[in-house]
Structure 1
Amino acid sequence: MTQIQELTYQLGQVNYEGHTFDCLPIHGEQEVLQVIVSELDAMPIFVTITDTQILCITYLCKQTEIQPKRIAELNKTMLELNVAMPLSSFAIVEDYYVVFGAMATSSSFNEVCKELITLASNAYDALEAIENYLV
């Protein structure tokens, strides 16, 4: 059983801090697990596991959805918000603004659950913080 398969099974069986996890494995060159956290379900989290880390990413918006004249202001705002956002950071992946978190592969299952819930919550807060910059 791969690590993604094992995580899919474990998340499907747990209720952590009142949240459940809906998981959909995505097969490809790199195994990815799409996770939707109950009560925070509008923005899926994509999880990949490498030899060294568990990476969790949620997509906020495309760069083209930002008001062109406000991109520099948005980037500055995101850099300022990074410190205040627990367990998560902003980044640009290809042409998307994302919120991500990374953990060691030795992280406990409870730590993974906490990261997923925190990331989903942070993504909601981040989207709210950037909505005035959207086209």
Structure 2
Amino acid sequence: MTRTQELTFQLGQINYEGHTFNCLPIKGEQEVLQVMVSELDAMPIFITITDTQILCITYLCKQNEIQNGKLADLNQTMLELNVAMPLSSFAIIESYYVVFGAMATSSSFDDICKELVTLSANAYDALEAIEEYLV
């Protein structure tokens, strides 16, 4: 059983701080697990496990969804918010703004659950904070 399959099984069995996890494995070059956190399930988290890290990403918006002339202001806002966001950071992947968190592969299952709930909540807060910049 791969680490991703093991995580899928474990997440499907737990209630963490009142949240459950709906998991959907995505086959491809790299195994990816899509996770929806109950009560915060409009923004899926995509998990990839490598030899060195567990990477969790949720997509906020596309760059072309930013109002004309607001890109620099949005980037400044995101840089300012970055430090205040526990366990998460902003990034750009291809043409998407994302919120991500990374953990060591030795992280406990409890830490992984905490990261998923925190990342999901942070993504909601971040989207609310940047909505004035979106078209």
TM-score grouping bracket, smaller chain normalisation = over 0.9
Match of 2:64 in 1: 64
Match of 1:9 in 2: 9
Letter aligned with residue 88 of structure 2? S
Which structure 2 residue ranges, 5 or more long, are not aligned?
none
Give the alignment's TM-score, normalised by structure 1. 1.00
Q: Shift of the alpha carbon at 1:18?
A: 0.4
CA-atom RMSD in angstroms: 0.3
Match of 1:55 in 2: 55
Q: Shift of the alpha carbon at 1:68?
A: 2.2
Match of 2:99 in 1: 99
Quote the Cα distance in structure 2 between the aligned partners of 1:80 and 1:61.
18
Which structure 1 residue ranges, 5 or more long, are not aligned?
none
| Number of aligned residue pairs | 135
Identity over aligned pairs, percent: 82
- Regions of 4+ moved over 2 Å: none
Give the alignment's TM-score, normalised by structure 2. 1.00
Letter aligned with residue 111 of structure 2? E
Residue 131, structure 1, aligned to residue 131, structure 2? yes
How far does the alpha carbon of each residue in 1:46-102 deviate from its partner, in whole angstroms, 9 at most, with x for none? 000000000000000000000120000000000000000000000000000000000
How far does the alpha carbon of each residue in 1:18-58 deviate from its partner, in whole angstroms, 9 at most, with x for none? 00000000000000000000000000000000000000000
